Amino acid sequence: MMDAIIKISVLMPAYNTGEFIAEAIKSVLNQTFTEFELIIIDDGSTDNTAAIVQSFHDPRIVFIQQENKGIASALNTGLQYARAEYIARFDSDDICYPYRLQKQYEFLSSHPEYVIVGSAVDYIEQQGGYIFTYYPSARSFESLKATMHHTCPFIHSSVLYHKNTILKHGGYNSFALSFEDHLLWINVLKESKGYNLQEPMVKVRLNPNSITIDEKWRTHDFRRIKYKALRKNEITEAEAKKLQQALLQQNKRQIKEGAYYALLAKKYLWNNPQPQRARLNLRKALLLNKWNWNGYIFYILSFLPSSLLQKTYRRIKQHLHS
């Protein structure tokens, strides 16, 4: 493949996602936009991830293997290999809609004042069932800047951005464990413009094995260090070690699955009200962590009329953003 026709480099870090990565790869290869390369960085997987990637024989795939160093390192490795001006981020357990690259490329090409574009996404359960559609509350550049310190401006797996802008800001900070994207966007949006399309471009899979879990299940120290770093736009190595310790302490099936079911319950409570599904997932979460008092509160709330639930949800959001 000639470099001249590579307009987008799709960066897909992967760690032990053998169950889902084939579907993720196929969704990229089936894009209506064809002038891309797919860079898959295997971050030291111990399952069959590498074998599945190597079963694809498409010249657009670039496969890189490294020892396990974390997602920020894998992405920075991918940035160094990327040959295109534009970078599309994508997770190895998610699914791209066929039009994703085409529509985002057309947006950035026709709006040169912007360096990054995200989108709405459809959230799905681990096995692929639809949960709800997330429409970013912050769409314009002005609203993104106004809310970026307390809400991540973009769904990471949905963004397309200018590679040189990200490299200018040093790429992904490996100290910002689990929020390397959020910290990067804050630095980028200080100087450059971003935008969120209000059309879903990606199916984002909620997965108990993901490093991203319901933040309410994180420790107090983890949340304190994270939001301090976001306010200061920097994080120290010493703080990173504390984050790593907290992540290791929570790298347990009971916590990760409990957080997964709790997150599903909240989505079926607030975003796509289905009280019976909410209660089913809350029961699973409480079986894994019977001392999660929020779970009992949400269980009681699930019996309220849907209209009252939505009114309560809007008030909670207003309080959090005030």
Q: How many domains does the chain have?
A: 3
What does residue 5 show for φ and ψ, rounded to 5 degrees?
-100, 5
pTM for the structure as a whole: 0.91
Q: Do residues 126 and 70 share a domain?
A: yes
Q: Do residues 279 and 188 share a domain?
A: no
Going by pLDDT thresholds of 50, 70 and 90, the confidence category of residue 67 is very high
Q: Do residues 62 and 130 share a domain?
A: yes
Q: Which domain range does residue 309 map to?
A: 253-322
Going by pLDDT thresholds of 50, 70 and 90, the confidence category of residue 316 is low
Q: Do residues 98 and 237 share a domain?
A: no
Choose one of 167, 188, 205: the last residue of a domain.
205
Q: Do residues 48 and 98 share a domain?
A: yes
Q: Nearest 5°: CA angle at 80, between 78 and 82?
A: 65
More confident residue, 309 or 259: 259
Q: What is the pLDDT of residue 2?
A: 44
Q: What is the pLDDT of residue 213?
A: 67
Q: Do residues 305 and 174 share a domain?
A: no
Q: Nearest 5°: CA angle at 52, between 16 and 95?
A: 70
d(CA 40, CA 283) in angstroms, rounded, equals: 37
Q: Do residues 92 and 227 share a domain?
A: no
Q: Is the pLDDT of residue 311 over 90?
A: no
What does residue 229 show for φ and ψ, rounded to 5 degrees?
-65, -40
Per-residue pLDDT tens digits for 10-45: 999 999 999 999 999 999 999 999 999 999 999 999
Q: Nearest 5°: CA angle at 30, between 3 and 205?
A: 110
Q: How many helices (H) and strands (E) does the chain have?
A: 13, 9
**Whether 288 contacts 315, CB under 8 Å:** no
Q: Is the pLDDT of residue 290 over 60?
A: yes
Q: Do residues 33 and 121 share a domain?
A: yes
CATH code, domain with 21: 3.90.550.10
Q: Do residues 128 and 237 share a domain?
A: no
Q: Is the pLDDT of residue 206 over 60?
A: yes
Q: Do residues 62 and 159 share a domain?
A: yes
The H or E element spanning position 166 is: helix 163-168
Q: Which residue has 């960085």 as its token pair?
A: 41
Q: Is the pLDDT of residue 78 over 80?
A: yes
Q: Do residues 317 and 182 share a domain?
A: no
**Whether 205 contacts 95, CB under 8 Å:** yes
Q: Do residues 262 and 246 share a domain?
A: no
Q: What is the pLDDT of residue 252?
A: 85
Going by pLDDT thresholds of 50, 70 and 90, the confidence category of residue 212 is low
d(CA 315, CA 214) in angstroms, rounded, equals: 20
Q: Which of 247, 124, 182 is nearest to 239 (CA)?
A: 247
Maximum pairwise Cα distance, the chain: 60
